[in-house]
Amino acid sequence: MIVGTHRLLQGDVKFHDLGLVIVDEEQRFGVRQKEALKALRAEVHLLTLTATPIPRTLNMAMSGLRELSIIATPPAHRLAVQTVVTPWDANLLREAFQRELARGGQVYFLHNEVDTIDRMARELGELVPEARIRVAHGQMPERELEQVMLDFHRQRFNVLVCTTIIESGIDIPSANTIVIHRADRFGLAQLHQLRGRVGRSHHRAYAYLVVPNKKAMTGDAEKRLEALASLEELGAGFTLATHDLEIRGAGELLGEDQSGQMAEIGFSLYTELLERAVKSIRSGKIPDLDPTLRHGAEVELNLPALIPDDYLPDVHARLTLYKRIAGARDEDRLKELQVEMVDRFGVLPDPAKQLFAVAELKLAATPLGIRKLELGPTGGRVIFLPQPTIDPMSVIRLIQGQPKVYAMEGPDKLRLRMELPDASSRLRTAKGLLSLLAKG
């Protein structure tokens, strides 16, 4: 077994017979390092651990590309960290320091600017004269930094003014208050990790997120702080990560740069195609890339099948409903949508009813291997895919039973001759025909 840092991922490190890689604090690894780990996966088991998965990782887990397990049970007797978002308030901060020092505890004060960190330490010394203050940051000599952290662990001083160097790997049970200066400049996962440096014993811990006024903060920073303050309970890392995904977006999923044509086809279509491919592979099939199968059967009844603008004037709402109707996977979902529309906008007009009827026909025709179903006033035709799933004998019986109505035109077209003057006759005929073909 070897325990190491990122150094183990460099090209000059070779393993004789590697079987398992465990990556802790996965959010601290960049895309290039994760690509190096991915290259090992053919023969290596990979387990990654993180309190706050980054949006890219979380999205891959949710879309089925990666397996995900959640450990939400906190250690026994552990209390949630009480979080306060506040502007700089000298009285509040002095009270926070004094409360912690009075119970014999220690305080982290996070100030992430090395140039001004000593000045901030002096200001805190004036604010809380009884505090014993030291400074720690990554630009200090290695031995000096190590000595400061050992002294803090041994409680030789009680206030550590530091940078984000404490973000992970620090476990000091007696430190139960953290003050994060300019918390609006930190990411959501980073804030959660920093908050996790306190509250590691049975004492109640406090996290103070010091922020400027709202005008000096970005909209995303406000959302991050709201999410963090609202989720104080233990095991909230996964929920926070979903907020992070909403705020920042999923990022580039494939490789160091966005691969393929994701930007051209759009993220929604990409995730839909990905979902279908993952399902196919899991069921032991090769993903079918035929575009006709991808979009389902085409149904054309030469009828108005739409949501009229006088029924629903809002263009955006209409487009959203069209997308939901087109994306419905079964008749039950279509019925739910109909009920929802009636509830929100009133009784459906005929064109909207016909839109739902066409969507139902499409759901019935697609699994039969039908590429197109077209009906008009004098009949219509059914065009099959090269390898339909219906029994050829069902088509033959149909033609033999009603030779004046049905006839084959070429190897893949079934012609239908019948007077279909109105919507009800075409819908009835289409349903009956699909039912007969499905029975075999």
- 180: β partners: 110, 209
Band of pLDDT at residue 292, cut at 50, 70 and 90: very low
**Which residues lie closer than 8 Å to 389 by C-beta, 6 or more apart?**
367, 368, 369
What does the alpha-carbon distance between residue 246 and residue 262 come to, in Å, rounded to a whole number?
Answer: 19
Give the neighbor-by-neighbor strand order of the sheet with 370-376. 298-300, 370-376, 379-384, 413-417, 406-408
Which of 46-55, 379-388, 390-399 is least confident?
Answer: 46-55
The boundaries of every CATH 3.90.1150.50 domain in the chain are: 291-439
pLDDT at 346: 93
Q: CATH code for 291-439? A: 3.90.1150.50
Q: Which range, of 195-209, 230-244, 315-329, averages the lowest pLDDT?
A: 230-244
Facing residues of 106 across strands?
Answer: 175
The pLDDT value given to residue 16: 84
- What's residue 269's pLDDT? 66
| Confidence grade of residue 255 (pLDDT, cut at 50, 70, 90) | very low
pLDDT recorded at residue 355: 93
Position 224 confidence tier, pLDDT thresholds 50, 70, 90: confident
HEC states along the chain? Answer: CCCCCHHHHCCCCCCCCCCEEEECCHHHCCHHHHHHHHCCCCCCEEEECCCCCCHHHHHHHHCCCCCCCCCCCCCCCCCCCEEEEECCCHHHHHHHHHHHHHCCCEEEEECCCHHHHHHHHHHHHHHCCCCCEEEECCCCCHHHHHHHHHHHHCCCCCEEEECHHHCCCCCCCCEEEEEEECHHHCCHHHHHHHHCCCCCCCCCCEEEEECCCHHHCCHHHHHHHHHHHHCCCCCCHHHHHHHHHHHHCCCCCCCCCCCCCHHHHCHHHHHHHHHHHHHHHHCCCCCCCCHHHHHCCEEECCCCCCCCCCCCCCHHHHHHHHHHHHHCCCHHHHHHHHHHHHHHHCCCCHHHHHHHHHHHHHHHHHHHCEEEEEEECCEEEEEECCCCCCCHHHHHHHHHHCCCCEEECCCCEEEEECCCCCHHHHHHHHHHHHHHHHHC
pTM above 0.75, yes or no: no
Residue 409 pLDDT grade (very low, low, confident, very high; cuts 50, 70, 90):
confident
The share of the chain scoring above pLDDT 90, in percent, equals 42
Q: What is the mean pLDDT of residues 10-39?
A: 82
Q: Kindly state the percentage of the chain with pLDDT values over 70.
A: 86
Q: Which residue intervals of the chain bear CATH 3.40.50.300?
A: 82-233
pLDDT exceeds cutoff 80 at 244: no
CATH 3.40.50.300 fits 82-233, yes or no: yes
Mean pLDDT, residues 32-41 taken together? 76
Q: HSE of 127 in the Cβ direction (CA atoms, 13 Å)?
A: 20
Q: What is the pLDDT of residue 258?
A: 42
The yes-or-no verdict on residue 245 having pLDDT over 60 is yes
Q: What is the pLDDT of residues 293-352, one digit of tens each?
A: 456 788 999 989 999 989 999 888 888 899 889 888 889 999 999 999 999 999 999 999
